[in-house]
Amino acid sequence: MPKPSPKKRVALATLGCKVNQFESAAFLSTLAEREVEVVEFAESAEVYIVNTCAVTARAAQESRQLIRRALKTNPEARLVVTGCYAQIAAQEILDIVDQPLCIVGNGYKDKLVEIALNDSHCDLEMFMSDIGRRKEICPLTVRQFSGRTRASLKIQDGCNSFCSYCVVPFTRGRSRSLTPELAVAQARIYAAGGHREIVITGIHTGTYGHDFSPATDLVALLRRLLAECPLRYRISSLDPGEITPELLALLASEPLLLPHLHIPLQSGDDAILARMNRRYTGAAFGDLLRRIRAILPEAAIGVDVMVGFPGEDEAAFRHTYELLAGLPVTYLHIFPYSKRPGTMAARMEGQVSKEVKAARVAELRELDQRKRREFYTAQLGKVLPVLVERGHRGKLLTGFTDNYVPVRFAGSDAVMNSVVQVRLDELADDWVRGAVVAEA
């Protein structure tokens, strides 16, 4: 009898946000149903898939590096490039390669695996469309977030805001929502697969359901998820205006909706916010955070902040720093402004030098460390539920409390992927040492 032919080897690399990670998990789920072998990206493969990002210049550079690395590892491989960089910079990709490849736009990601496994050889395949005309979300299903206790559920794609620095509306199109029925179905798949916690994510998560007729909203979806698939849920980034009294009331009353919010500020200077096309003021943002802390006294509050936006002088930066220093912030995600071609901000006067941006980033990182330590210290002595995720260097188990404190503690592998009660005992660098009290 002839020997069976070896399985086609497929490698996948992913850059960028939780939405990209969800979509790559969907690719892997479909690949698992095929007669292929998924290998590490550094290994030789017959097919390479690069799920790119374009949100910063560095992400675009990393996308190009991965494309070159795949072609260097196996010049004869079938190369499939998708994601946001592929959506807006197809010509740049063509300029850096001299081998055949496939470029798959964000509107065709549901067809990506079929395209990747096609046996035909061609000079160029491009599966693109005007993403701005897409009316429905691209349907993707994830069977398993391999090796993870926490999984992401993409409920929304696209953005209508057109902040002056951001390419996302051009790479992802207008806001489109997943139906509640499909969201519940995906959550049930995760529950059946053993996942204990779901992160609700999207490109502009807070606009969920606004495109439906009749319209619905994020709170209605969360209520349905909690009722029909009662797992632990976290919410990814929400703009300030999307954190409503109804959402805060639900967070305060529902134990399975974890007390953790991530809110983009970007700048604390009102003139810079206006140039960014952000529709709030620094004072309004401050009022919101104080209101959240009053309703959710133990909640983690993360904040995105961008430094070095065009026109940000020292006074504007001081407004941002002083606002954040005086607010009940748990941690900061800090980004230097990155000029993105095609955006309004790329053409603005007053571009800030790399050296000034680096100095401001460093100053805010010091504030971030201080805020984290203050929040973690305030939790010491408390007994809190922790979802056990993994071991740390074979010695300590690790996980996060409901309010997102990273904890390490001694314990057996038997409690992996379960919720245990942990007493928080001691601050140690950027984490807290604890001790298991009981299983939750």
pTM of the predicted model, to two decimals? 0.93
pLDDT of 340 > 60? The answer is yes
Task: Tell me the per-residue pLDDT of 5-52, one tens digit each, with 9 for 90 and over.
Answer: 578 999 999 999 999 999 999 999 999 999 899 999 999 999 999 999
Q: Kindly report, residue by residue over 58-67, the tens digit of the pLDDT.
A: 999 999 999 9
pLDDT at 3 over 60: no
Torsion of CA 344, 350, 354, 360, to 10 degrees: -100
Residue that wins the pLDDT comparison between 5 and 361: 361
pLDDT band, residue 251 (cuts 50/70/90) = very high
Show me where the domains of the chain are located.
8-129, 139-258, 261-379, 383-439
pLDDT tens readout for residues 196-207 = 999 999 999 999
Query: With 90 as the cut, is the pLDDT of residue 97 above it?
Result: no
Residue carrying the six token digits 């620094």 = 282
Give the pLDDT of residue 440.
Answer: 54
Give pLDDT tens digits for 368-400.
999 999 999 999 999 999 999 887 666 899 999
Architecture label for domain 8-129: 3-Layer(aba) Sandwich (3.40)
More confident residue, 95 or 122: 95
Domain covering 383-439, topology: OB fold (Dihydrolipoamide Acetyltransferase, E2P) (2.40.50)
Q: What is the CATH architecture of 261-379?
A: 2-Layer Sandwich (3.30)
* For residues 398-417, average pLDDT: 94
| Residue with more model confidence, 352 or 144 | 352
CATH no., domain 139-258: 3.30.750.210
Evaluate if residue 4 carries a pLDDT over 60. Answer: no
pLDDT of residue 122: 62
pLDDT value at 439 more than 90: no
266-306, pLDDT tens digit by residue?
999 999 999 999 999 999 999 999 999 999 999 999 999 99
Give me the percent of the chain exceeding a pLDDT of 90.
86
Structure confidence at residue 129 (pLDDT): 82
Distance, CA of 36 to chain centre: 28
Does residue 429 have a pLDDT over 70?
A: yes
Distance between CA atoms of residues 204 and 161, nearest Å:
9
Of the pLDDT bands very low, low, confident and very high (cuts 50, 70, 90), residue 144 is confident
pLDDT, residue 394, reads: 65
pLDDT given for residue 2 in this prediction: 44
* Mean pLDDT computed over every residue of the chain: 94
* Backbone torsions φ then ψ of 377, nearest 5 degrees: -60, -35
**Domain 139-258 matches domain 261-379 at the CATH topology level:** yes
